Homo-oligomer: A and B are copies of this chain.
Amino acid sequence: MSISKPTIKDVAELAGCGIATVSRVLNNSGPSSLASREKVLAAAEELDFKFNEFGRSLKSRRSKTIGVLVPTLCNPVFADAVQGVQQAAAVHGYDVILTSANYDQETEKTAMETLLAKQVDGVILTVSSPTNSIALRMLKEKHVPHCLIFNQPKDADVSAVGVDNVEAARIVGQKLFELGHRDAAFVAVQFAKSDRSADRYRGFAEIYAKHGLREPELLEVDYAPGDLEIALVNLFETSPSTTALFASNDMLALACIRALRSLGKSVPEDISVVGFDGIAVADLVHPKLATIATPCHAMGSKAAQLLVKALQNNEKPPTGVISLPFEFRCGESLTLAAKKKVAGRAVTRPAAAPATQMQPNK
Protein backbone atom coordinates (compact mmCIF):
# COMPACT_ATOMS: atom_id res chain seq x y z
CA MET A 1 0.00 0.00 0.00
CA SER A 2 2.60 2.48 -1.11
CA ILE A 3 1.54 6.04 -1.44
CA SER A 4 2.08 6.00 -5.20
CA LYS A 5 1.73 3.16 -7.61
CA PRO A 6 4.69 1.10 -8.73
CA THR A 7 6.09 2.00 -12.13
CA ILE A 8 7.96 0.01 -14.66
CA LYS A 9 11.10 1.40 -13.08
CA ASP A 10 10.31 -0.20 -9.75
CA VAL A 11 9.77 -3.50 -11.45
CA ALA A 12 13.07 -3.20 -13.28
CA GLU A 13 14.86 -2.44 -10.07
CA LEU A 14 13.35 -5.36 -8.22
CA ALA A 15 13.98 -7.70 -11.13
CA GLY A 16 17.52 -6.42 -11.49
CA CYS A 17 17.27 -5.45 -15.12
CA GLY A 18 16.57 -2.45 -17.33
CA ILE A 19 13.16 -0.96 -17.95
CA ALA A 20 13.38 -1.87 -21.60
CA THR A 21 13.49 -5.52 -20.69
CA VAL A 22 10.52 -5.17 -18.42
CA SER A 23 8.56 -3.51 -21.18
CA ARG A 24 9.47 -6.23 -23.64
CA VAL A 25 8.56 -9.03 -21.29
CA LEU A 26 5.29 -7.59 -20.12
CA ASN A 27 4.22 -6.69 -23.63
CA ASN A 28 5.62 -9.73 -25.38
CA SER A 29 7.11 -7.25 -27.74
CA GLY A 30 10.65 -8.40 -28.23
CA PRO A 31 13.29 -10.96 -27.39
CA SER A 32 13.94 -11.86 -23.79
CA SER A 33 15.67 -14.72 -22.04
CA LEU A 34 13.79 -17.19 -19.96
CA ALA A 35 15.73 -16.07 -16.89
CA SER A 36 14.81 -12.39 -17.14
CA ARG A 37 11.31 -13.29 -18.19
CA GLU A 38 10.77 -15.11 -14.94
CA LYS A 39 12.39 -12.47 -12.79
CA VAL A 40 10.34 -9.72 -14.37
CA LEU A 41 7.08 -11.60 -14.05
CA ALA A 42 7.81 -12.40 -10.43
CA ALA A 43 8.69 -8.80 -9.67
CA ALA A 44 5.58 -7.49 -11.42
CA GLU A 45 3.47 -9.94 -9.50
CA GLU A 46 5.00 -9.02 -6.20
CA LEU A 47 4.51 -5.30 -6.71
CA ASP A 48 1.07 -5.79 -8.23
CA PHE A 49 2.31 -3.71 -11.12
CA LYS A 50 -0.17 -2.24 -13.57
CA PHE A 51 0.78 -0.18 -16.56
CA ASN A 52 0.01 3.50 -16.44
CA GLU A 53 -2.18 3.98 -19.47
CA PHE A 54 -1.31 7.65 -19.82
CA GLY A 55 2.35 7.07 -20.29
CA ARG A 56 1.51 4.28 -22.62
CA SER A 57 -0.97 6.22 -24.69
CA LEU A 58 1.24 9.27 -24.81
CA LYS A 59 4.01 7.27 -26.37
CA SER A 60 2.01 4.91 -28.54
CA ARG A 61 -0.56 7.45 -29.64
CA ARG A 62 -3.46 5.15 -29.09
CA SER A 63 -5.92 5.17 -26.24
CA LYS A 64 -7.55 1.78 -26.59
CA THR A 65 -10.78 3.63 -26.12
CA ILE A 66 -13.69 4.05 -28.45
CA GLY A 67 -16.21 6.83 -28.22
CA VAL A 68 -19.94 6.29 -28.43
CA LEU A 69 -22.48 8.94 -29.28
CA VAL A 70 -26.20 8.18 -29.24
CA PRO A 71 -29.28 10.37 -29.07
CA THR A 72 -30.38 9.05 -25.70
CA LEU A 73 -30.14 6.08 -23.40
CA CYS A 74 -33.79 6.37 -22.45
CA ASN A 75 -34.79 4.55 -25.59
CA PRO A 76 -34.03 0.89 -24.88
CA VAL A 77 -32.98 0.46 -28.46
CA PHE A 78 -29.93 2.60 -27.94
CA ALA A 79 -29.26 1.24 -24.49
CA ASP A 80 -29.11 -2.26 -25.93
CA ALA A 81 -26.84 -1.18 -28.73
CA VAL A 82 -24.48 0.59 -26.36
CA GLN A 83 -24.36 -2.51 -24.24
CA GLY A 84 -23.47 -4.47 -27.36
CA VAL A 85 -20.69 -2.07 -28.21
CA GLN A 86 -19.36 -2.16 -24.70
CA GLN A 87 -19.27 -5.92 -24.44
CA ALA A 88 -17.71 -6.48 -27.84
CA ALA A 89 -15.15 -3.77 -27.18
CA ALA A 90 -14.24 -5.23 -23.80
CA VAL A 91 -13.44 -8.55 -25.41
CA HIS A 92 -10.71 -6.87 -27.41
CA GLY A 93 -9.43 -4.77 -24.55
CA TYR A 94 -11.12 -1.56 -25.59
CA ASP A 95 -13.07 0.74 -23.32
CA VAL A 96 -16.05 2.86 -24.11
CA ILE A 97 -16.56 6.54 -23.44
CA LEU A 98 -20.21 7.37 -23.58
CA THR A 99 -21.88 10.59 -24.67
CA SER A 100 -25.44 11.41 -25.59
CA ALA A 101 -26.85 14.24 -27.62
CA ASN A 102 -30.58 14.23 -26.99
CA TYR A 103 -31.36 14.63 -30.71
CA ASP A 104 -29.75 18.06 -30.63
CA GLN A 105 -27.33 19.14 -33.31
CA GLU A 106 -25.42 21.49 -31.05
CA THR A 107 -25.04 18.95 -28.25
CA GLU A 108 -23.90 16.45 -30.84
CA LYS A 109 -21.10 18.80 -31.74
CA THR A 110 -19.85 19.47 -28.24
CA ALA A 111 -20.07 15.79 -27.37
CA MET A 112 -17.93 14.98 -30.36
CA GLU A 113 -15.43 17.61 -29.31
CA THR A 114 -15.12 15.91 -25.94
CA LEU A 115 -14.59 12.55 -27.56
CA LEU A 116 -11.93 13.89 -29.87
CA ALA A 117 -10.20 15.69 -27.03
CA LYS A 118 -10.00 12.40 -25.20
CA GLN A 119 -8.24 11.02 -28.25
CA VAL A 120 -10.57 8.10 -28.76
CA ASP A 121 -9.20 5.70 -31.35
CA GLY A 122 -12.55 5.46 -33.09
CA VAL A 123 -16.19 6.37 -32.72
CA ILE A 124 -19.49 4.55 -33.01
CA LEU A 125 -22.44 6.84 -33.34
CA THR A 126 -26.02 7.49 -34.28
CA VAL A 127 -26.83 10.96 -35.52
CA SER A 128 -30.05 12.72 -36.33
CA SER A 129 -29.25 13.26 -39.94
CA PRO A 130 -26.16 11.74 -41.55
CA THR A 131 -26.22 14.14 -44.47
CA ASN A 132 -25.73 17.28 -42.44
CA SER A 133 -24.36 16.15 -39.12
CA ILE A 134 -21.59 18.33 -37.83
CA ALA A 135 -20.29 15.54 -35.65
CA LEU A 136 -19.97 13.23 -38.61
CA ARG A 137 -18.15 15.85 -40.62
CA MET A 138 -15.70 16.43 -37.79
CA LEU A 139 -14.84 12.75 -37.79
CA LYS A 140 -14.20 12.79 -41.50
CA GLU A 141 -12.04 15.89 -41.32
CA LYS A 142 -9.91 14.59 -38.48
CA HIS A 143 -9.67 11.18 -40.11
CA VAL A 144 -10.94 9.38 -37.06
CA PRO A 145 -12.22 5.90 -37.92
CA HIS A 146 -15.92 5.61 -37.24
CA CYS A 147 -18.98 3.53 -37.83
CA LEU A 148 -22.61 4.57 -37.80
CA ILE A 149 -25.32 2.47 -36.21
CA PHE A 150 -29.05 2.72 -36.88
CA ASN A 151 -28.41 5.39 -39.50
CA GLN A 152 -28.44 4.33 -43.10
CA PRO A 153 -26.51 7.09 -44.82
CA LYS A 154 -27.14 7.81 -48.47
CA ASP A 155 -23.50 8.45 -49.35
CA ALA A 156 -21.59 5.22 -49.63
CA ASP A 157 -18.22 6.43 -48.37
CA VAL A 158 -19.01 5.83 -44.74
CA SER A 159 -19.20 2.67 -42.68
CA ALA A 160 -22.53 1.77 -41.12
CA VAL A 161 -24.38 -1.09 -39.50
CA GLY A 162 -28.14 -1.11 -39.34
CA VAL A 163 -31.30 -2.68 -40.58
CA ASP A 164 -32.90 -1.91 -43.89
CA ASN A 165 -35.63 0.35 -42.62
CA VAL A 166 -37.21 0.78 -46.02
CA GLU A 167 -37.45 -2.93 -46.61
CA ALA A 168 -38.73 -3.59 -43.10
CA ALA A 169 -41.42 -1.01 -43.58
CA ARG A 170 -42.34 -2.60 -46.91
CA ILE A 171 -42.92 -5.85 -45.10
CA VAL A 172 -45.13 -4.18 -42.58
CA GLY A 173 -47.01 -2.56 -45.43
CA GLN A 174 -47.40 -5.85 -47.23
CA LYS A 175 -48.67 -7.62 -44.09
CA LEU A 176 -51.19 -4.89 -43.47
CA PHE A 177 -52.30 -5.08 -47.07
CA GLU A 178 -52.71 -8.83 -46.92
CA LEU A 179 -54.81 -8.52 -43.79
CA GLY A 180 -57.15 -6.23 -45.65
CA HIS A 181 -56.07 -2.86 -44.30
CA ARG A 182 -56.73 -0.46 -47.13
CA ASP A 183 -56.45 2.73 -45.14
CA ALA A 184 -53.52 3.07 -42.81
CA ALA A 185 -51.62 5.86 -41.14
CA PHE A 186 -48.02 6.29 -40.08
CA VAL A 187 -47.38 7.89 -36.70
CA ALA A 188 -44.04 9.41 -35.80
CA VAL A 189 -42.41 11.58 -33.16
CA GLN A 190 -39.79 14.03 -34.27
CA PHE A 191 -40.18 12.92 -37.85
CA ALA A 192 -37.89 15.66 -39.05
CA LYS A 193 -35.15 14.67 -36.64
CA SER A 194 -34.80 11.05 -37.59
CA ASP A 195 -33.74 9.65 -40.91
CA ARG A 196 -35.01 6.28 -39.72
CA SER A 197 -38.57 7.52 -39.43
CA ALA A 198 -38.40 8.95 -42.90
CA ASP A 199 -37.10 5.69 -44.36
CA ARG A 200 -39.82 3.74 -42.65
CA TYR A 201 -42.52 5.96 -43.97
CA ARG A 202 -41.06 5.72 -47.42
CA GLY A 203 -41.08 1.92 -47.54
CA PHE A 204 -44.54 1.82 -46.06
CA ALA A 205 -45.96 4.30 -48.52
CA GLU A 206 -44.28 2.53 -51.41
CA ILE A 207 -46.24 -0.66 -50.85
CA TYR A 208 -49.51 1.18 -50.67
CA ALA A 209 -48.69 2.99 -53.87
CA LYS A 210 -47.75 -0.28 -55.53
CA HIS A 211 -51.18 -1.67 -54.81
CA GLY A 212 -52.81 1.42 -56.17
CA LEU A 213 -53.96 2.58 -52.77
CA ARG A 214 -54.01 5.99 -51.25
CA GLU A 215 -50.77 7.09 -49.61
CA PRO A 216 -50.89 6.46 -45.85
CA GLU A 217 -51.61 9.48 -43.74
CA LEU A 218 -48.56 10.86 -41.94
CA LEU A 219 -49.16 11.83 -38.32
CA GLU A 220 -46.36 13.76 -36.75
CA VAL A 221 -46.89 14.08 -33.04
CA ASP A 222 -45.26 15.66 -30.04
CA TYR A 223 -44.31 14.32 -26.67
CA ALA A 224 -46.75 16.77 -25.11
CA PRO A 225 -49.44 14.89 -23.20
CA GLY A 226 -52.71 14.83 -25.09
CA ASP A 227 -51.09 15.63 -28.39
CA LEU A 228 -51.42 12.09 -29.62
CA GLU A 229 -55.12 11.92 -28.77
CA ILE A 230 -55.80 15.12 -30.66
CA ALA A 231 -53.91 13.90 -33.69
CA LEU A 232 -55.86 10.65 -33.68
CA VAL A 233 -59.20 12.43 -33.38
CA ASN A 234 -58.25 14.53 -36.38
CA LEU A 235 -57.22 11.44 -38.27
CA PHE A 236 -60.53 9.70 -37.71
CA GLU A 237 -62.37 12.78 -38.80
CA THR A 238 -60.49 13.14 -42.07
CA SER A 239 -60.08 9.42 -42.70
CA PRO A 240 -62.78 7.54 -40.83
CA SER A 241 -62.02 4.37 -42.75
CA THR A 242 -58.56 4.00 -41.23
CA THR A 243 -58.08 0.50 -39.83
CA ALA A 244 -54.40 0.39 -39.00
CA LEU A 245 -51.62 2.46 -37.47
CA PHE A 246 -47.94 1.93 -38.07
CA ALA A 247 -45.89 3.67 -35.39
CA SER A 248 -42.29 4.65 -35.92
CA ASN A 249 -41.25 2.91 -32.72
CA ASP A 250 -42.62 0.58 -30.07
CA MET A 251 -43.01 3.09 -27.28
CA LEU A 252 -45.07 5.23 -29.57
CA ALA A 253 -47.09 2.21 -30.63
CA LEU A 254 -47.92 1.51 -27.00
CA ALA A 255 -48.87 5.14 -26.52
CA CYS A 256 -51.14 4.82 -29.55
CA ILE A 257 -52.88 1.81 -28.10
CA ARG A 258 -53.50 3.68 -24.89
CA ALA A 259 -54.70 6.76 -26.72
CA LEU A 260 -57.04 4.70 -28.87
CA ARG A 261 -58.49 3.10 -25.80
CA SER A 262 -59.18 6.49 -24.30
CA LEU A 263 -61.02 7.34 -27.53
CA GLY A 264 -63.19 4.28 -27.07
CA LYS A 265 -61.49 2.19 -29.72
CA SER A 266 -59.93 -1.11 -28.90
CA VAL A 267 -56.90 -2.79 -30.40
CA PRO A 268 -56.94 -4.90 -32.48
CA GLU A 269 -60.74 -5.18 -32.76
CA ASP A 270 -61.27 -1.68 -34.11
CA ILE A 271 -57.79 -0.70 -35.13
CA SER A 272 -54.60 -2.67 -35.66
CA VAL A 273 -51.32 -1.25 -34.44
CA VAL A 274 -47.80 -2.16 -35.50
CA GLY A 275 -44.62 -0.87 -33.90
CA PHE A 276 -40.96 -0.91 -34.75
CA ASP A 277 -37.86 -2.02 -32.81
CA GLY A 278 -38.95 -5.07 -30.89
CA ILE A 279 -38.21 -3.85 -27.39
CA ALA A 280 -38.52 -6.47 -24.67
CA VAL A 281 -41.62 -5.05 -23.12
CA ALA A 282 -43.54 -5.33 -26.37
CA ASP A 283 -43.95 -9.02 -25.66
CA LEU A 284 -45.22 -8.54 -22.13
CA VAL A 285 -48.11 -6.21 -22.72
CA HIS A 286 -51.60 -7.12 -23.75
CA PRO A 287 -52.23 -7.18 -26.61
CA LYS A 288 -48.72 -8.29 -27.55
CA LEU A 289 -47.35 -5.75 -29.90
CA ALA A 290 -46.86 -6.60 -33.55
CA THR A 291 -43.53 -5.13 -34.52
CA ILE A 292 -40.33 -5.39 -36.46
CA ALA A 293 -37.78 -6.92 -34.15
CA THR A 294 -34.38 -5.39 -34.78
CA PRO A 295 -31.12 -6.81 -33.45
CA CYS A 296 -30.02 -3.72 -31.53
CA HIS A 297 -27.50 -5.48 -29.40
CA ALA A 298 -26.00 -7.22 -32.40
CA MET A 299 -25.85 -3.91 -34.21
CA GLY A 300 -23.71 -2.48 -31.48
CA SER A 301 -21.42 -5.44 -31.20
CA LYS A 302 -21.07 -5.83 -34.95
CA ALA A 303 -20.09 -2.19 -35.30
CA ALA A 304 -17.61 -2.55 -32.46
CA GLN A 305 -16.07 -5.60 -34.06
CA LEU A 306 -15.71 -3.85 -37.40
CA LEU A 307 -14.18 -0.83 -35.80
CA VAL A 308 -11.77 -2.72 -33.57
CA LYS A 309 -10.56 -4.88 -36.42
CA ALA A 310 -9.98 -1.79 -38.51
CA LEU A 311 -8.09 -0.11 -35.68
CA GLN A 312 -5.87 -3.11 -35.21
CA ASN A 313 -5.02 -3.13 -38.89
CA ASN A 314 -4.48 0.59 -38.81
CA GLU A 315 -7.15 1.30 -41.37
CA LYS A 316 -10.70 2.54 -41.65
CA PRO A 317 -13.70 0.28 -41.23
CA PRO A 318 -15.05 -0.93 -44.59
CA THR A 319 -17.27 1.66 -46.23
CA GLY A 320 -20.81 0.78 -47.08
CA VAL A 321 -23.92 -0.11 -45.16
CA ILE A 322 -24.17 -3.51 -43.53
CA SER A 323 -27.78 -4.53 -43.09
CA LEU A 324 -28.50 -6.96 -40.29
CA PRO A 325 -31.48 -9.32 -40.48
CA PHE A 326 -34.67 -8.20 -38.78
CA GLU A 327 -37.86 -10.04 -38.24
CA PHE A 328 -41.54 -9.33 -38.42
CA ARG A 329 -43.09 -10.38 -35.14
CA CYS A 330 -46.80 -10.81 -35.48
CA GLY A 331 -48.26 -9.79 -32.13
CA GLU A 332 -51.84 -9.65 -31.04
CA SER A 333 -52.18 -5.97 -31.81
CA LEU A 334 -52.47 -6.81 -35.48
CA THR A 335 -55.35 -8.67 -37.03
CA LEU A 336 -57.67 -8.71 -40.02
CA ALA A 337 -59.18 -5.40 -40.91
CA ALA A 338 -62.72 -5.23 -39.60
CA LYS A 339 -64.90 -5.42 -42.71
CA LYS A 340 -67.58 -3.23 -41.29
CA LYS A 341 -68.11 -1.86 -37.89
CA VAL A 342 -70.49 -4.39 -36.37
CA ALA A 343 -71.43 -3.29 -32.89
CA GLY A 344 -67.87 -2.51 -31.98
CA ARG A 345 -66.75 -6.14 -32.08
CA ALA A 346 -64.15 -7.73 -34.25
CA VAL A 347 -65.28 -9.84 -37.16
CA THR A 348 -62.75 -12.60 -37.33
CA ARG A 349 -59.49 -13.20 -35.64
CA PRO A 350 -56.90 -15.17 -37.56
CA ALA A 351 -54.83 -17.69 -35.65
CA ALA A 352 -52.01 -15.34 -34.80
CA ALA A 353 -48.68 -16.62 -36.00
CA PRO A 354 -46.69 -17.57 -32.94
CA ALA A 355 -44.23 -14.91 -31.96
CA THR A 356 -40.99 -16.22 -33.32
CA GLN A 357 -37.74 -16.03 -31.44
CA MET A 358 -35.11 -13.56 -32.44
CA GLN A 359 -32.11 -15.35 -33.75
CA PRO A 360 -29.23 -15.09 -31.29
CA ASN A 361 -26.48 -12.62 -32.05
CA LYS A 362 -23.63 -14.25 -33.77
Using a CB–CB cutoff of 8 Å, the interface residues on chain A facing chain B are 1, 50-55, 57-58, 63, 65, 68, 72-74, 76, 79-80, 82-83, 86-87, 90, 95-100, 111, 114, 116-119, 141, 251, 254-255, 257-258, 261, 280-281, 284-286
Given A73-B82, A257-B286, A285-B285: 14 more A-B contacts, CB < 8 Å: A51-B117, A52-B58, A52-B119, A54-B54, A72-B83, A74-B83, A87-B100, A90-B99, A95-B99, A95-B114, A97-B98, A258-B286, A281-B281, A281-B285
Cβ 8 A contact of A79, one of B73, B119, B257: B73
Tallying the copies of this chain within the complex gives 2
Most buried by B among A98, A118, A141: A98
- Beta-carbon contact of A50 and B286 below 8 Å: no
Cα A254 to Cα B52 with chains together (Å)? 47
| A54-B251 in contact (CB<8A) | no
Q: In the docked arrangement, what's the CA distance between A216 and B147, Å?
A: 51
Closest 5 CB pairs of A and B: A79-B79, A54-B58, A254-B284, A73-B83, A73-B79
What are some 13 contacts across the A-B interface (CB < 8 A)? Answer: A50-B117, A54-B58, A54-B119, A73-B73, A73-B86, A74-B76, A90-B99, A90-B114, A97-B97, A251-B284, A257-B284, A281-B281, A285-B285
